[in-house]
Amino acid sequence: MKRVLQFLFFLFIVRPVLLVILGMNVRGREHLPEKGPAVLVANHNSHLDTLTLMALFPLKDLHRLRPAAAADYFLANRWLKWFALNIINIIPLARGGVRKNPLADLEAALDRNEILILFPEGSRGEPEQRAEFKRGVAYLAKARPDVPIYPVFMHGLGKALPRGSFILVPFNCDVFAGAAIKWTGDPQSFMGELELQMTELAEQGRFQPWE
């Protein structure tokens, strides 16, 4: 039932909106993983980011995609909670908690061959401005060193639906996917490698200022 609702939501709402109102320009689609376990790592501008990344995959693989999202935000009220858990199929993460291994749920998902979607910037932040990646992704890579990590750079969705706004304004958006990287042996060099990949992807576009 949950899978059917998710399928219908993406087929009749998300995909038409992305296709008609927004319009996606995808580069490097061939880099994206065909099956899990895998981790997508993207910059975060808008609530639309997650839906857009999920829409890049075939509908039949939808249930294998697991966006990690902040529990305190998405489980805050019952409607949002139901939607986040059933339709988006998130893995809720506790922010600033004291649990033993905060990544346990993510590791378990990878062990089930699922594809994780992570936004290491943390929150959406200032739209269309990249923030520094948090290091959690490095510890996940360390825990599962064979799992490929796919950097994805997105631009434009923050203009269409920035943080704090509920009005969707049509803008084309760009999604640039890069080749996968793997655990390098230490967090410092891994984060450096990831940062470098993201910067190279971002430089594929010529973006005008938006302030």
Partner 1 sequence: MPIPDALPDTVFYAIAVIYALLIAASVIVAVMKRKQPGAVTEELSRRVTSWWFMITIFSVAIVTNRVVSTVFLGFVTFLAFKEYLSLIPTRRVDRVILLFAYWAIPAQFLFAHLNSYGLFLTFIPVWMFLFLPMAMTLMGKTEGFLRAVGTLSWGLMITVFALSHTAMLLAADKSVAGPAGGAGLLLFLVALTQFNDVAQFTWGRLFGKHKIAPQVSPKKTWEGFLGGLGSTVVGAAIAGPFLTPMPFYYAGVAGAIIAVAGFLGDITISSFKRDLGVKDSGGLIPGHGGILDRVDSLIYAAPVFYHAMHFFVFSGRI
Contact positions vs partner 1 (CB under 8 A): 23, 25, 27, 127, 156, 159, 162, 165, 167, 169-173, 206, 208-211
Complex with partner 1: residue 58 or 209, whichever CB lies closer:
209
Least distance from partner 1 to the Cβ atom of residue 25, Å: 5
Complex with partner 1: residue 47 or 142, whichever CB lies closer:
47
Least distance from partner 1 to the Cβ atom of residue 167, Å: 6
Least distance from partner 1 to the Cβ atom of residue 201, Å: 15
Between helix 136-143 and helix 104-111 the angle, nearest 10°, is: 40
Least distance from partner 1 to the Cβ atom of residue 44, Å: 17
Complex with partner 1: residue 123 or 189, whichever CB lies closer:
123
Provide the 3-class DSSP secondary structure of residue 171.
Answer: coil
Complex with partner 1: residue 4 or 167, whichever CB lies closer:
167
Separation of alpha carbons 136 and 189, rounded Å: 14
Complex with partner 1: residue 38 or 160, whichever CB lies closer:
160
DSSP 31: G
Number of neighbours of residue 202 by Cβ within 10 angstroms: 16
DSSP 12: I
Beta strands 91-93; 65-70: pairing state: parallel
Separation of alpha carbons 98 and 75, rounded Å: 18
Least distance from partner 1 to the Cβ atom of residue 206, Å: 5
Least distance from partner 1 to the Cβ atom of residue 168, Å: 8
Which residues fall within 8 angstroms of residue 37, CB to CB, at 6 or more apart? 109, 110, 111, 112, 113, 114, 115, 144, 147
- With beta carbons less than 8 A apart as the criterion, state whether 72 and 149 touch: no
Please, what is the end-to-end C-alpha distance for the chain in angstroms?
43
Complex with partner 1: residue 13 or 19, whichever CB lies closer:
19
